[in-house]
Amino acid sequence: MRRTRRGGNGLPSRRPPDQEARVPTRAPVRGIRSDNVTRADDQTNLVVGVDIGGTFTDLVVVDEERGRIFIGKELTTSDDPARAVLHGISTLCARHGLRLEDLAHAIHATTLITNAIIERKGARTGLLTTAGFRDVLEIGREAKYDLYDLFLTIPASLIPRKWRAEAPERIDIDGRVVAPIDLEAVDAAVDRLVADGCEALAISFLHAYRNAAHEQAAAERIQTRHPSLYVSLSSDVAPEIREYERTNTTAANAYVRPLIDQYLGRLLEVLGDDGFTGSFSMMLSNGGLTSVPDARARPIGLLESGPAAGALVAGHFAQLTAEPRVLAFDMGGTTAKACLIEDGAPATTYLFEAAREQRFKRGSGLPIRTASVELIEIGAGGGSLARVNDLGLLKVGPESAGAMPGPACYGRGGTTPTVTDANLVLGYYDAGSFLGGEMALDLPAAQEALGDLAGKLGIELVDAAWGIHNVVNEQMASAARIHAAEKGRDVRQYTLLTTGGAAPCHGPRIAQKLQMRQVVCPPNAGVASSFGLLVAPPRVDLVRSSPMRLAELDWPAVEQLYAEMAAQALSILAEAGAAPEDVRFERTADMRYVGQGFEITVGVPAVVEGTAPADILSRAFSAAYQESFARIIPDTPIEALTWRLQALGSQTSTAIIGQQNRQERSTQAPAPRGSRPAFFPEWGEYRPTPVFDRYHLGPGFAGSGPSIIEERESTTVIPPGFHWCIDEFSMLKLTWEH
């Protein structure tokens, strides 16, 4: 029930405020040592993390020796992402008196791979496959992902049929050569593809995961005749069972190889010309780091590098604050992601779908066989567009305004209302202090855009703004609820941890919808993914498919597979700067009951002397199956199809991330730096709401909602009914009773 409208002289009203009052310039940092105003003369051994998002490119420089952090944020230049990276680094260095030659190490995550696949802007790519298997990309799994949709849209292949060629050859399921490869036929087929303009080539022969000899022979022949052609082999990219997934992953890798190769080449060349001489690593989808040569050869492993970094830093913060179960919620300008983290580590999946036709329907995307942090992506970010659908209802996302033109309030030509516009009109953001005042927001433009939407819906402006905010919260809560349920988890037993520029604004309301009692907002949440780059270890995930029933297990052969993978992993990690003595290995296997169509990934325990390896694997599989499905199937044979090895080096800059904020608790009462009118549905009107400067809130400070707590890259909006406090690590913790 709404209260009576009032207005005038600063009294509560349902009329949106004009926000003419401006937040004063932030005083020097207290509590959170994020040096945005202090020079850093004579710095050495600095580490920089750069994460390209759909709307913003985030940069963080860490001086671990002196315990200082420098932060930058640039609008992403979607036409040339390297431009924002280079401008951001040079601006950050100039602002703080840094030199590029002082940067000892750079770590980079990018959305370039994802965007190229979604937008179909990769290279012209050909496919060479075993004779008779030209159409494997079309045939797929021979199943509809939605049986009841008569107008189902099937994801288009990255490689059209006219650019697919066949090679006479055949290797059987045991790796034996049935028919030798005809290299002259290979020459003729590839010559035709190159003449037709193909810049890249994927080679995926039948059962190459068991015997790669034919793929290797073809590649050697092709590279001799066409040295400029980018060639990807399935035996290198995804050497595991299942033709469709293996071929599609290899095709995707080839499709983006020229793009990432040229991008990294240009980026490193310009950085080198400007004085950068340090090492350079790329973030992988699995939450680890790899070298530039490996990233250029297998760029498909970078597919979800940015979201993985966000999940990784959430896990780090969870460990820091001793939170055993965390739902990591990352919301930026374009999308939001959710990931369950237990005991400080996100789960890993080995099958990811890119460019889904329908965001929440499995099978509607292109299957990619690569190790990735297991998360759910939601089409909701600060730039998500709001509109009226064909049924006359409010719909938000998944389309986004991106960085250009961006939300209407960015003043860059956008006219369609977005989530950011709604938050500004609700009074949650200050038009004058966005990004520390570097980027002023245009409130009248936001009001005009929302006014058009409100007119179509026949409601007041403030109701349209709250409707957008509430709808997007419900979308994100529903997706998180489904993600948790699919993993057999009760989300109410978790703590919500918010990262990303928009997440602290929406997190408390999402926690209410999910009935989660606690929300944690770490400092510098708006650039958290860049911090995730700095806590990531060098990592390699390798795989070999060799199906075996446990009753016929050839353990020496399995040990040989793991030894080969370990040697390859050490070689790759050495390029990333990891010392062999710092590398630790984790073994897993994809297993199932004989006759099943899908597998579960099971940890492979160490073999105890006197115990049969088959018995150890059987017990491990039964325990994992019981946990996943709450039952086992007795007296049924078990088989292992694929053997996996995860190799991890030592982490990079973990000590400073979070630890540098640790301080003694204060008994002082927090004082707001001012107030501004904000709308909360509990009130039904705008009322003055206290605004706090997060940089002035030390450990021990506490308060109650409604409150607004601002920092440079994000704003935390605390609704009525919440209590908040700052802990010893400067984490903002919110609790509520329901």
In a domain, 147, yes or no: yes
- For 4-13, 137-146, 577-586, 647-656, which range has the lowest pLDDT when averaged over its residues? 4-13
In a domain, 565, yes or no: yes
Higher model confidence: residue 379 or residue 389? 389
Domain residues for the domain of 579 are 539-648
Nearest to 68 by CA among 726, 499, 532, 661: 661
Kindly report which listed range (8-22, 228-242, 380-394) carries the lowest average pLDDT score: 8-22
Q: Is residue 515 part of a domain?
A: no
Provide the pLDDT confidence category of residue 587 given band limits of 50, 70 and 90: very high
Q: Read off the amino acid at residue 386.
A: A
pLDDT digits (tens, 9 = 90+) for 688-701: 999 999 988 988 89
Domain-terminating residue out of 262, 293, 310: 262
Structure confidence at residue 438 (pLDDT): 77
Structural element, H or E, at residue 89: helix 81-96
Of the residues 592, 620, 648, which one is the last residue of a structural domain?
Answer: 648
Q: Are strands 125-130 and 200-204 parallel, antiparallel or unpaired?
A: parallel
The pLDDT of residue 417: 95
pLDDT band at residue 653, thresholds of 50, 70 and 90?
low
Residue 128 lies in a domain: yes
Is 50 inside any structural domain? no
* Higher per-residue pLDDT: 230 or 347: 230
Residue 504 lies in a domain: no
Which of 603, 623, 648 is the last residue in one of the domains? Answer: 648
Could you report the per-residue pLDDT of 87-126, keeping only the tens digit for each? 999 998 888 888 888 898 999 998 888 888 988 889 999 9
Assign residue 358 a region (left: φ > 0; alpha: ψ between -120 and 50; beta: otherwise): beta
pLDDT band for position 679 (cuts 50, 70, 90): very high
Label the pairing between strands 685-693 and 495-499: unpaired
Pairwise pLDDT comparison (738 vs 571), residue with the higher score: 571
pLDDT at 31: 30
Model confidence over 234-278: pLDDT tens digits?
999 999 999 999 999 999 999 999 999 999 999 999 999 988 998
Say if residue 357's pLDDT is above 90: no
Is the model's pLDDT at 25 over the cut of 60?
no
Task: Give the mean model confidence (pLDDT) for residues 189-204.
Answer: 97
Kindly state the tokens that stand for 720: 């009525």
| pLDDT-based confidence at residue 3 (cuts at 50, 70, 90) | very low
Residue 177 within a domain = yes
Please name every residue paired with 385 in a beta bridge, in sequence order, or none if there are none.
418
Query: Confidence class of residue 26 from pLDDT cuts 50, 70 and 90?
Result: very low
Residue identified by tokens 């793929």 is 215
pLDDT over threshold 90, residue 721? yes
- Say how far residue 88 (Cα) sits from the centre of its chain: 21
CB contact set of 736 (below 8 Å; sequence gap of 6+) = 508, 511, 512, 517, 721, 722, 723
Q: Beta 674-680 vs 702-704: how paired, if at all?
A: unpaired
**Cβ atoms of residues 360 and 559 within 8 Å:** no
- Tell me which residue of 410, 349, 418 sits closest to 383, measured CA to CA: 418
Mean pLDDT across the chain: 87
What confidence tier does 668 reach under pLDDT thresholds 50, 70, 90? low
Give pLDDT, residue 418.
95
Which pLDDT tens digit goes with each residue over 611-648?
899 999 999 999 999 988 889 999 999 999 999 999 99
Would you say 535 and 366 are in contact if contact means Cβ atoms under 8 Å apart?
Answer: no
Q: Above 60 in pLDDT, residue 34?
A: no
Average pLDDT over residues 535-557: 93
DSSP state of 537: P
| 3-class DSSP state of 414 | coil
Question: How many Cβ atoms sit within 10 Å of the Cβ of residue 564?
Answer: 13
Q: Is residue 196 part of a domain?
A: yes
Confidence tier at 656 by pLDDT (50, 70, 90): low
Burial (0-12, 13-18, 19+ Cβ within 10 Å), 220:
exposed
CATH number at residue 209: 3.40.1360
Q: E strands along 350-442, which residues?
A: 352-354, 366-368, 372-373, 376-378, 384-388, 394-400
Count of domains forming the chain: 2
